[in-house]
Structure 1
């Protein structure tokens, strides 16, 4: 389960270089493709498959000079180079480059609507629909804010967006605020999926508000909130996606994860000799669990950080897990292990980790998950498998415990998760099956 992408934009001196560094800081949000668009009197774009350092190797970044600049890192492994963002889109006599984080819930009906009006799409991804909608309304209204207000009425789902348009940098966050977007000011103006990528360049940083549009032109930034709705922030930004040092919607990701571990220890204590984490995503919650329970925390699994994206993995999930993780036998042998992770999706990886710990001599393995069971698919931009692949959709907790081979298994409750994050303005559809009505309330 992974989130699809990250976006970064700069209106400043050395905007291209800063966008490159910004994308490097967002590499955890996508490793399968990267791209940068610059404005130098026209839009120029360089993009490709691979990591940021692979796409822009050999000095290619030095040939992209311009201001403003937007960039994108992409997760999805499918599609041709035309699917890698930013996308250049032409419509109604105008041209825009767009980078998008999220997923539209009314992509297909909206695409058919514009196709019926004669527009020919060049890609198969929903990002292009946002650009077409914007350019269509701008051609009538001649105002970026009013055009985006129409887009908000028309386009539903999750979308944080950066666009290059006529020498301007436009930043947009959908009215629900599903996906995060941060805004920083200093020697210029900067935007990023996470504020942690902005701290290299500025200290005056805030969230872009849901429904807010910011237009940067001629060295000045103008902001308006043009779309309003009940907010529903993606809960998995806090559980898994974001870097621990990020602050999203005014909430520290690190402390949210730490509190998840604390709440988990209170709700579902375990008798163990040592707490260990599944690195890296389970580490902060494991620290919270250890501190609250009084059971010492130790590094019992070491992650191999040198298996590159292009490494040819042998077949078999168990071998893949053992290549990625290695047990510290001196920590594990003869001990009762409390194993903390952020989530269980299919269950196969956890099953192999439990087996690995037993093979290393663990006396008992008690699994604690710092989020509720994932039982439903996501339609707002998370690559969650179909429901029949989700182990918690069809098995009870007791059945999952037996499937993964643990001595005990417990998940954090929905209420415990809310307490840990500190807000109930969350989209938790993948956990509860309660999908935000606004995201599906559309007409074309």
Structure 2
């Protein structure tokens, strides 16, 4: 649903020196593969629309490592609709290696200083680095407090990205470290989701996926060319044939013209975020060998199995564009009734959570109900999830008043969201969520509770996907996915602790749970 904030996306590309060519880049362009970074970021635009940036490395320029970042979408940030300005940027930052980032703010403000990659300039080449980060550190406040307790440390931003930057710098303070050992040390400190792409002025690159694999990260190799991306679609559209998901806890380093695979943490329980498949990821992506499109289609099949409505000639299935379309189509196929686009989305209107809090007005700008499709019909409205409910309530009212729908039966291809996320999704307090107002127990969903929820939304009926259907639809075992936001069972110690804090502050807290004052976190953790 548009009221759920996205996270971030990262990409990287490196052309190894020496003989050999790649089928993906034309001859003579080996030293300018950084030109591919904006193209890759376009395919990850779904993961963040507030800012975009790149850092590139080139050994024969004064700025060995150089960073460009700007507020706005990829098209806006890189001036893709202004040919001359785009070419000027690409010429300035042309290089055989680079990393990139698209941002949505789950932590910190929405200005240029928070845009990534973050670069730390230094006269010593191995201390001069840049990095891009996807995820959220659940123990951000403790890590910040640890830094501030050191002599003469100061933080200028309220974001875990800066905290990571300082911890990286601290690892580099004495002598040149082994990159694998450096990130092993950090893995012992970090709690949460942290996929990183790291590039330094020695021309060394490291890609790291957190030990639980909460956020996706994949890579592909074509001759001397290696690339990384949060989602496979960014590599597929470049022309890579064999795309692999990085293992949780894996690090891939490029040093001295060689690619090396290592681990930063022992193999342990996995906790892949199920939201990646049902909402966040591009529908064309494959994450950890599981197709996003096929997962969403199976979610629709699961919804159809639980449907109790009598399907007649006036019944139609309507998806809320766009992430619910695959589920709606599959559900309609199973129920043998039409799936129709009764809502047309205006793709030139910004996402409602970026545009502001007057969601009713934003819904009217963003969605146009087709009266010729909806009027007098019994509508099964399929949505991917309901988080805060304000957009859904406004949409139902809009479909009745402008579309003339006779009945609206909401079907949600996700269980009720009952708990916050502390790993990169911007829903960090219990009080902001819709479902906990009706549910004391995540497993206590029944017809009476769903009836009260439907009345609150002004829908005729409401049905959620059962929790046990998630793993079946994704194709992974329940033990391998993070379902904390629908069960309250978190995969890390700090996540569980923050949940208890959030429960204790329901109805009173303003702001994100993990952005508490440091002294409050210190007292809560003792």
Residue 436 of structure 1 pairs with residue 491 of structure 2: yes
Q: Distance in 2 between matches of 1:256 and 1:141?
A: 45
Of 386-395 and 404-413, the range deviating more from structure 2 = 386-395
Residue 125 of structure 1 pairs with residue 151 of structure 2: no
Q: Distance in 1 between matches of 2:354 and 2:422?
A: 31
Residue 148 of structure 1 pairs with residue 183 of structure 2: yes
**What is the Cα deviation at residue 440 of structure 1?**
4.8
Counterpart residue number, 2:500: none
Alignment TM-score, normalising by the size of structure 2:
0.80
Counterpart residue number, 2:39: 21
- 2:55·2:130 contact (CA, 8 Å) conserved in 1? yes
Decide which of 202, 210, 221 is 2:248's aligned counterpart.
210
Of 73-82 and 141-150, the range deviating more from structure 2 = 73-82
**What is the Cα deviation at residue 384 of structure 1?**
1.4
Counterpart residue number, 1:157: 192
Residue 73 of structure 1 pairs with residue 95 of structure 2: no
Q: Distance in 2 between matches of 1:230 and 1:130?
A: 24
- 1:270·1:366 contact (CA, 8 Å) conserved in 2? no
Of 314-323 and 40-49, the range deviating more from structure 2 = 314-323
Matches within 5 A, 1:158-177: 158-165=193-200, 166-177=202-213
Q: Which runs of 5+ in 1 are unaligned?
A: none
Q: String of CA shifts for 1:1-27, please: whole Å, max 9, x gaps.
A: 122210010002332211111011111
**What is the Cα deviation at residue 308 of structure 1?**
4.8
Q: String of CA shifts for 1:370-393, please: whole Å, max 9, x gaps.
A: 000111111111011521121111
Of 386-395 and 265-274, the range deviating more from structure 2 = 265-274
Q: Distance in 1 between matches of 2:233 and 2:465?
A: 27
Q: What root-mean-square deviation, in Å, do the aligned CA atoms of Structure 1 and Structure 2 show? A: 2.4
Residue 264 of structure 1 pairs with residue 303 of structure 2: yes
- 1:89·1:97 contact (CA, 8 Å) conserved in 2? yes
Decide which of 360, 363, 374 is 1:318's aligned counterpart.
360
Q: String of CA shifts for 1:130-152, please: whole Å, max 9, x gaps.
A: 33334433545721111111111
Counterpart residue number, 1:237: 276
Q: Which runs of 5+ in 2 are unaligned?
A: 16-29, 80-84, 439-448, 498-524
Q: Distance in 1 between matches of 2:95 and 2:417?
A: 44
Number of residue pairs aligned between Structure 1 and Structure 2: 444
- 1:101·1:179 contact (CA, 8 Å) conserved in 2? yes
- 1:98·1:127 contact (CA, 8 Å) conserved in 2? no
Q: Distance in 1 between matches of 2:162 and 2:112?
A: 14
Q: Distance in 2 between matches of 1:315 and 1:27?
A: 22
Counterpart residue number, 1:182: 218
Of 210-219 and 237-246, the range deviating more from structure 2 = 210-219
Q: Distance in 1 between matches of 2:283 and 2:404?
A: 31
Alignment TM-score, normalising by the size of structure 1:
0.94
Counterpart residue number, 1:54: 76
- 1:158·1:177 contact (CA, 8 Å) conserved in 2? yes
- 2:277·2:292 contact (CA, 8 Å) conserved in 1? yes
- 2:212·2:248 contact (CA, 8 Å) conserved in 1? yes
